[in-house]
Amino acid sequence: MGVVARYYDVHPQDPQPRAISQVVAQLRDDALIAYPTDSCYALGARLENHGGAERIRRIRHLDDKHHFTLVCADFAQLGQMVDLSNSAFRAIKAATPGPYTFILPATPEVPRRLAHPKKRSVGVRIPQHPVAQAILAELGEPILSSSLLLPGAEWPMTEGWQIKEELDDVLDAVVDAGDCGTTPTTVVDLTGGSPEVVREGAGDPSRFA
């Protein structure tokens, strides 16, 4: 490809609106970006970006059993993407925004190719990071995401310049807001009725024990 990723240096608490607008314009143009969340950097693309999921799978060497995460701006958006029982509704409402990913049955709003092939489920989350929130607010739709953990690496990448250096030719943009830690989200599977913590991460798992 020989394309160089655009590099945005944004303020972690008060991201510059112009930079956010440019990032969102790239997302709408089917870009794949690296962006900060409240639990490490993530790869992100629009849901309608047909090549986005494939590109994430290639970078991370994932198979089709991988649960993608739909990163949502708010609870209303999340509710359009997944079917919520009353108990799931209450559990998620109490834990968001925050570093949790919830696996739930996907609604027809979720493109078939993004849901788990057998279970028809998908991960959803609402991040607390101001930069992620600013991108989501301007985009007006969820971002298809996956933690920026490279094959064989023990930890996700935390430095924007390092992400740019290593992934320059496979990403379209890197949004650098400084270090946002190496601990991924706590993943809670709510498809089986009672919550099952499938990965312990940044969010306190004891509330779902």
pLDDT confidence band for 144 (50 / 70 / 90): very high
Tell me whether residue 103 is in a domain: yes
**Mean pLDDT, rounded, for 143-167:** 92
Q: Which of 23-32, 87-96, 112-121, 200-209 has the highest mean pLDDT?
A: 23-32
CB within 8 Å of 175: residues ≥ 6 apart? 8, 10, 19, 23, 33, 34, 35, 36, 131, 135, 160
Tell me whether residue 185 is in a domain: yes
What is the span of the domain harbouring residue 84? 6-208
Mean confidence (pLDDT) of the chain: 94
pLDDT confidence band for 1 (50 / 70 / 90): very low
Task: Tell me which residue of 205, 209, 198 sits closest to 67, measured CA to CA.
Answer: 198
pLDDT at 41 (0 to 100): 95
Task: Tell me which residue of 132, 170, 97, 169 sits closest to 10, measured CA to CA.
Answer: 132
pLDDT at 9 (0 to 100): 97
**What does the pLDDT look like over 107-136, one tens digit per residue?**
999 999 899 888 999 999 999 999 999 999
**Mean pLDDT, rounded, for 162-189:** 94
pLDDT confidence band for 191 (50 / 70 / 90): very high
Cα–Cα distances in angstroms (integers) from residue 204 to residues 61, 69, 123, 183, in the given order: 28, 19, 18, 12
Contact 95, 203 (CB under 8 A): yes
Tell me whether residue 1 is in a domain: no
Tell me whether residue 29 is in a domain: yes
Peptide bond into 97 cis (omega under 30): yes
pLDDT at 31 (0 to 100): 98
pLDDT at 209 (0 to 100): 83
Tell me whether residue 137 is in a domain: yes
Question: How many distinct structural domains can be found in the chain?
Answer: 1
CATH code at position 10: 3.90.870.10
Tell me whether residue 106 is in a domain: yes
pLDDT higher than 80, residue 82? yes
